[in-house]
Amino acid sequence: MELTFLGTGAGSTLGSKRFKSGLLVSSGTTKIVLDMGSGANYRLEDLNALDVQTLFVTHLHVDHFSGLLDHLVVRKLKGLPTLKVYSPPGLRSVLEAVKLAGNNVSAEVEEAELPKAKVGDLEVYSVKACHSIHAVAYVVTDGRRRVLYSGDTTEPCETILEEARDADLVVHEASCVTGCDSWGHTGVRELLGLIPREKLVLTHIPSWLEAEIIEASVGARVAHDGMRLNV
């Protein structure tokens, strides 16, 4: 599997250095995206990767799906196949409202409390995250290696920590240095005591806290937009 970080910024990030959340996972000819916040869709275009088959959304805070709307417009203009989207309940209503406002966009949306699917070479399932609204974390495997993508969560979150034990790589949010649990997020200092640092790749980073988070995350990798990893 190859991971490409489309957007590594938190909802509060400023500017374009870190777009909002998005992770491209590729295996052979299979391409899926986990979350598509603002700007992550542009990164897909830069990578000439508009032919993604499926999007998995972790939750319905706008910084995790707002790029989808522009992406659907581009797919329509390019004549690309209808995108399959897996999401917790609520996304279908959002897209219906956008269509009612006069936008000719479409997607095949499948909603579930815990979305899961088999897409080409990849199997994807979800577990409940511990966020301020209903949210999930996704596990992606090609049958050999396993990646855990936390989405937004407060730690300790037992369902996520249980999956982290068997994961080869954990892409985890790091929204502050410490003390952001009241917002449903995880600080670096709390996280580093829970998951082995060699497994961790930190994302969902506010641009204005980047230096402090990098300094606090010694031993763990900190993702940046455009970063690629082979798992």
Contact call for residues 27 and 122 (beta carbons, < 8 A): yes
- Cβ neighbours for 9, distance < 8 A, ≥ 6 positions apart: 17, 18, 19, 20, 21, 37, 39, 63, 204, 205, 206, 207, 225
CA neighbor of 172 nearest in space, from 120, 110, 223: 223
Kindly report the number of other CB atoms within 10 A of residue 14's CB atom: 11
CATH level 3 topology of 2-230: Metallo-beta-lactamase; Chain A (3.60.15)
pLDDT in tens, 112-130: 999 999 999 999 999 999 9
* Residue 14 pLDDT > 90: no
How high is the pLDDT of residue 13? 86
Contact call for residues 228 and 10 (beta carbons, < 8 A): no
Q: 190 falls in which pLDDT band (50, 70, 90)?
A: very high
Question: What sign for the dihedral angle of Cα 116, 220, 31, 18?
Answer: positive
Which residue in this structure is represented by tokens 């640092």? 197
C-alpha triplet 22, 207, 164: angle, nearest 5° = 50
* Residue 108 pLDDT > 90: yes
Looking at the chain, list the stretches that DSSP marks H as alpha helix, in order from N- to C-terminal side: 40-46, 67-78, 91-100, 158-166, 188-192, 210-216
Q: 111 falls in which pLDDT band (50, 70, 90)?
A: very high
Round to whole Å and give the CA distance between 24 and 174. 19
Counting residues of the chain whose pLDDT is more than 90, the rounded percentage is 95
Q: 15 falls in which pLDDT band (50, 70, 90)?
A: confident
